[in-house]
Amino acid sequence: MNRKLFELALDKTRPSDWEYFEELSSGFLASELPSLRTMASPSGDGGRDSELFSSDGSTYVAVQYSVSKDFDPKVMRTIKRLEENFDQIRVLIYCTNQQIGAKGDTLKQKCLGKGISLDIRDKSWFLERYELDDNKYNCASQLVDVIARPLLESESIIEKSRPALTSIESKAALTYLGMQWEDENTDKGLTKIAFESLVRAALRNTSSENRMARDNVHKKVVEFIPSSDPPCVRIVVASINLQINRAR
């Protein structure tokens, strides 16, 4: 996975993808904050998605995960809820997929005026750290898999992996290969056995009355293995001495 893929995943994370972003953020934070606790609850979280454990039972550090583009009002709403529910909050870690940077300076001053230090972890923060350890890298890869890759595949920018068998001919070739392997002596090379099976697959609909030209046999075998070098395939097939009268 490269940086551009991860950046695309962050850019394309929508409000409906909030759960994926929360998993990413909590995974990144867990690497440096072992005492992190997720506070999601059906009854409400009081304004914080996570908090750092405190032995005295009070909440001093709260964490908010957000994909909102309007970060300023979002943070201030969070601060208001925290003030209503946790009067000892001193630090708010705000994780977002948005690019904030220096635009957050004024907001930080507003929060300090309320006695809370705002620590913004924006898109740049994620991009600069996703390779620091395996945990962060795996979390970033998961977001790429659920957000970026499906998007690129739908736009035909990257191709989905081709299935191992894509046609009736390929399935027939595999069947012949299995049957041939059972019957051949172990001193015969697997490459020769495979090509003999492919030739038999190419000739399966022929008979002594309905023959196939050798050039067509070569073309059929090449179709079975499109990533091969056609001239090399023809040489190997030509060297196979099959006792089949249907190829002329």
Strand partners, 117: 91
- Structural domain total, the chain: 2
Question: How far is the C-alpha of 127 from the C-alpha of 171, rounded, in Å?
Answer: 44
Taking alpha carbons only, the member of 105, 51, 97, 55 closest to residue 78 is 51
Same domain, 184 and 231: yes
Q: Which CATH number is 22's domain given?
A: 3.40.91
pLDDT for 217 equals 82
Successive 10-residue mean pLDDT values, the chain, 248 residues: 92 92 91 75 50 68 90 91 83 94 94 93 95 93 93 66 56 62 53 74 78 82 76 76 48
Same domain? For 78 and 28 the reply is yes
Kind of pairing, strands 61-66 and 91-96? parallel
The domain boundary, picked from 129, 154, 179, lies at: 154
Q: Rounded CA gap, 129 and 135, in Å? A: 11
Residue tagged 């945990």 (tokens)? 135
Same domain, 38 and 126: yes
The pLDDT assigned to 132 comes to 92
In the chain, where do the E strands start and end?
A: 36-38, 50-52, 61-66, 91-96, 117-121
Tell me the residue range of the domain where 24 lies. Answer: 3-154
Both 104 and 201 in a single domain? no
Residue 159 lies in a domain: no
149 within domain boundaries: yes
For residue 221, being part of any structural domain is answered with yes
Phi, psi of 217 (to 5 degrees): -65, -45
Full-model pTM: 0.58
Task: Say yes or no: 195 and 86 in one domain.
Answer: no
Instruction: Specify whether the CB–CB gap between 152 and 158 falls below 8 A.
Output: yes
Cβ-Cβ contacts under 8 Å for 76 (sequence gap 6 or more):
107, 110
Same domain flag for 78 and 146:
yes
Residue 160 domain-assigned?
no
